[in-house]
Amino acid sequence: MNEQQQLAKIRLAAMELLTGREYSREELRVKLTRKFDNPGLIAQAIDKLIKDNLQSDSRFAEAFIRSRVNRGQGEIRIRNELRQRGISDQLALETIENCSVDWFALARDIALHKFGAEQPNDASQRAKRMRFLQYRGFTYDQISSALSP
């Protein structure tokens, strides 16, 4: 198989992946590397997909943030997960700022859904709620606001 045929095969595999959902450039590279043993052609194929606007890290970040907000996750956790998927801190920050989510309201809704409207009886229950929201990726200010009466 010549180089052009291999490149076409890589591109087709990448496009098949992208029909299911958005992938970051890094995720796509990792998946293609498992199937094909030619990093140079993989990079070339991904560059062409980006040029043709079939792959976009910003589009991936927007879709990823929407899905994680719907799961009730906070901006810290989302930003860390984007970083793990190869999205730059700058792009992650810009996309999170542009997504117009009220993180305070989201934290409050998640706390209300998980623990109900009743306030914690003691410090250990309050700490448990704080740890839960912290694990979900909310900031200290968002947690404090969500747990205030």
Residue ranges of domains in the chain = 3-55, 58-98, 103-147
Ranges of H-type helices in 36-122: 39-51, 57-70, 75-84, 89-98, 103-115
Q: Sort residue 52 into left (φ over 0), alpha (ψ -120 to 50) or beta.
A: alpha
pLDDT in tens, the chain (149 residues): 789 999 999 999 999 999 999 999 999 999 999 999 999 999 999 999 999 999 999 999 999 999 999 999 999 999 999 999 999 999 999 999 999 999 999 999 999 999 998 888 899 999 999 999 999 999 999 999 999 87
In CATH, what number does 3-55 get?
1.10.10.10
pTM over 0.75: yes
Ranges of H-type helices in 24-56: 25-35, 39-51
3-55 and 103-147 agree in CATH topology? yes
Q: Is 80 helix (H, G, I), strand (E, B) or coil?
A: helix
In CATH, what number does 103-147 get?
1.10.10.10
